[in-house]
Amino acid sequence: MAQLSNQKILVTGATSQVALPLCRSLSVDNEVVGLGRFRKPEDEAALRKAGGDCLKFDLATGDPGRIPDDFDYVLNFAVVKSGNFAYDLAANAEGLGRLLSRCRNAKAVLHCSSAAVYEYAGHKPLTEDDALGDNHRNMFPTYSISKIVSESVARFAAAEWNLPTTIARLSVPYGNNGGWPWYHLMMMNGGHKIPVHPDSPSLFNPIHEDDYIAQVPLLLERASVPALTLNWGGESVSIEDWCAYLGQLTGIRPHFETTPTALGSVAMNLDRLHEQVGPTRVDWRDGIRRLVEARNPELLKGFAQL
Ligand SMILES: NC(=O)c1ccc[n+]([C@@H]2O[C@H](COP(=O)([O-])OP(=O)(O)OC[C@H]3O[C@@H](n4cnc5c(N)ncnc54)[C@H](OP(=O)(O)O)[C@@H]3O)[C@@H](O)[C@H]2O)c1
């Protein structure tokens, strides 16, 4: 596996569920600066505990001249999904453009995109050339459009400033820092039904934090002009299966509610990811068991006897 060391790395969205464990890992051998609004004081404390410095900056409104222009790498994990199109596009797309203009001398950029950019296509494993669409509209009205537009901004920046870039369409990130399966566990524990799409099973490609952290240096190594775009996920697993497994681990049976407003499958073809950086390694059952052990050991079956 490629490693990064002695590099100055800017991570936007450093306090996010996805990027915080990445910052913790990168900061061991690198200088990591996390960019965000840090509206919650505990976010700043969490990033500092993870070894990163804080750059208070709102991507929608900030003056890019305040961002140092000597970063070796830029990792864009920030996302805002307030539902306000003007603000969300200003931060997710225009803000990214200003940031990349400022950091045009970086060695490489990783722009974290999402499987949410794809038009719903049932169980078909989607390749990077498949149709894009407003996939997550029911849940987050501005999200898919923001992610599609920000990809174009990243592509433009790569070509305009000869800035090697990888655009990675992340599926379902999870691990000891949480993720969608953990929300499902919380719903199960609270007695709530889990919404699932009528076209079952609801297939996604969950990827454990150990895997995406290990792949980031490789994704930066593969960054190119024009930008490389690829799907980023692990083996195909359904919501129904991971919830059933959470049920086996905890003894809490999942109850599903079938509704057309639930997110349908976004199954991804991972050939390009495997060619470029190799497969993921964490077995999904192992990853989910570790998530429960780390976050809610009290819910594990037999916990009382331990
Ligand atoms: N979570 C998933 O299931 C999932 C799936 C696929 C792809 N992704 C992608 O992974 C990345 C991280 O997602 P996440 O769900 O972990 O994010 P998250 O927990 O919602 O956190 C969003 C991050 O963006 C920052 N941010 C929001 N508005 C900002 C602004 N105006 N200026 C600067 N920073 C701002 C936030 O920090 P402040 O609030 O302090 O500004 C926070 O660190 C995103 O690119 C997302 O699209 C996530």
CB atoms within 10 A of CB 85: 12
> Residues 96-123: pLDDT tens digits?
999 999 999 999 999 999 999 999 999 9
The residue assigned the tokens 């900056």 is 57
Cα of 251 from ligand 1 centre, angstroms: 32
Mean pLDDT score, 44-59: 97
Closest CA to ligand 1's atom 8: 114
> Residues 184-238: pLDDT tens digits?
999 999 999 999 999 999 999 999 999 999 999 999 999 999 999 999 999 999 9
- Residue 1 pLDDT > 60: no
- Residue 18, in any domain of the structure: yes
**Which residues are within 8 A (CB) of 161 and not within 5 positions of it... i.e. 6 or more apart?**
100, 101, 104
Is the Cβ–Cβ distance between 12 and 5 less than 8 Å? no
Instruction: Tell me the pLDDT band of 305, cut-offs 50, 70 and 90.
Output: low
Which range of residues forms the domain containing residue 114?
8-179+205-235+268-282
Cα of 294 from ligand 1 centre, angstroms: 22
- Residue 28, in any domain of the structure: yes
Structural domains of the chain, count: 1
Amino acid 3: pLDDT: 83
Cα of 269 from ligand 1 centre, angstroms: 24
pTM of model > 0.85:
yes
Amino acid 266: pLDDT: 98
- Residue 39 pLDDT > 90: yes
> Residues 60-95: pLDDT tens digits?
999 999 999 999 999 999 999 999 999 999 999 999
- Residue 263, in any domain of the structure: no
Indicate the top mutation candidate among 16, 66, 151 to test ligand 1's pocket, ranked by most ligand atoms within 8 A of CB: 16
Instruction: Tell me the pLDDT band of 2, cut-offs 50, 70 and 90.
Output: low
Percent pLDDT > 70 in the chain is 98
Is the Cβ–Cβ distance between 205 and 211 less than 8 Å? no
Cα of 15 from ligand 1 centre, angstroms: 8
| Ligand 1 neighbours (beta carbon < 6 A) | 12-19, 36-39, 43, 58-60, 77-80, 91, 112, 114, 147, 170, 172-173, 180
Amino acid 279: pLDDT: 97
Amino acid 31: pLDDT: 98
Question: Torsions phi, psi of 21, nearest 5?
Answer: -65, -30
Angle ∠(111,237,147) on CA atoms, nearest 5: 25
Amino acid 84: pLDDT: 98
- Residue 187, in any domain of the structure: no
- Residue 272, in any domain of the structure: yes
- Residue 184, in any domain of the structure: no
Amino acid 304: pLDDT: 61
Amino acid 306: pLDDT: 52
Cα of 5 from ligand 1 centre, angstroms: 25
* Distance between CA atoms of residues 2 and 268, nearest Å: 24
The verdict on whether omega for the bond into residue 201 sits within 30 degrees of 0, i.e. cis, is yes
Cα of 172 from ligand 1 centre, angstroms: 13
Can you tell me which atom of ligand 1 is nearest the CA of 62?
A: 32
Can you tell me which atom of ligand 1 is nearest the CA of 76?
A: 45
User: Could you give the count of Cα atoms lying within 13 Å of 263 in the half-sphere of its Cβ?
Assistant: 25
- Residue 125, in any domain of the structure: yes
CATH label of the domain that carries residue 115:
3.40.50.720
Can you tell me which atom of ligand 1 is nearest the CA of 112?
A: 45
- Residue 64, in any domain of the structure: yes
Cα of 98 from ligand 1 centre, angstroms: 18
